[in-house]
Amino acid sequence: MADYTTTETAPEVNPAALSLSELADHIERIHHAYLHAELPRLDQMVTKVARVHGDKEPRLHQVKDIFLALSAELATHLMKEEQILFPMIRQLETSDTVPSFHCGTIANPVRQMEFEHDEAGVVLAQLRQLTDEFTPPEWACNTYRALLDALLTFEQDMHQHIHKENNVLFPRGMALEQQKAG
């Protein structure tokens, strides 16, 4: 696991310059490690802030509900990538022919992951809207402010993470599979 804390930003990489295995490693080391560390902390913060300030700002209850649901979905999503799709991509890259995967072509898990990314994107947009673009009200305490900062970082990290998967790793993986099949 990377020593990646919320105060750092993800290092700049040119995803197109990496091999597919290197890119899968990079995504796990940076973005998955960030989520594994940050989701439990965000779950706690969002729950606490909704409990303490939900009377004054009722939208915090919605923020809590949709965040906790997304967080649970993401835990499963990460596991599917780490245990199924990324190993398939690494194996594809190192074999001369297309390995036989029991879920068929990698296009199947890719389609499912992209569907889940779209769903996460909808929730991220809702979180942005419900928090007035992550802007704290004047009266917000430090914990409330820290939550909105952390949610903004989460949104940005998720966008980078999804971009690297949807626009680089997955299309290159599917193209390689086609090429090796031909």
d(CA 65, CA 19): 38
- In whole angstroms, how far apart are CA 83 and each of 76, 77, 86? 10, 10, 7
Neighbour tally for 177: CB within 10 Å? 21
Minimum distance, C-beta of residue 77 to Fe ion, in the bound complex (Å): 6
Closer CB to Fe ion, 30 or 49, in the complex: 30
Q: What is the binding site for Fe ion (CB under 5 A)? A: 81, 113, 165
Residue found under tokens 């890119």: 23
Task: List, as one string, the DSSP characters of 110-163.
Answer: HHHHHHHHHHHHHHHHHHHHHTTTTPPPTT--HHHHHHHHHHHHHHHHHHHHHH
Closer CB to Fe ion, 38 or 165, in the complex: 165
Closer CB to Fe ion, 41 or 115, in the complex: 115
- Structure tokens given for 156: 């940005």
Burial of 135: CB neighbours in 10 Å, binned 0-12, 13-18, 19+: exposed
Minimum distance, C-beta of residue 90 to Fe ion, in the bound complex (Å): 14
Closer CB to Fe ion, 81 or 157, in the complex: 81
Minimum distance, C-beta of residue 145 to Fe ion, in the bound complex (Å): 28
| Residue 9 near residue 150, CB atoms below 8 Å | no
Closer CB to Fe ion, 20 or 113, in the complex: 113
Minimum distance, C-beta of residue 111 to Fe ion, in the bound complex (Å): 12
Minimum distance, C-beta of residue 124 to Fe ion, in the bound complex (Å): 13
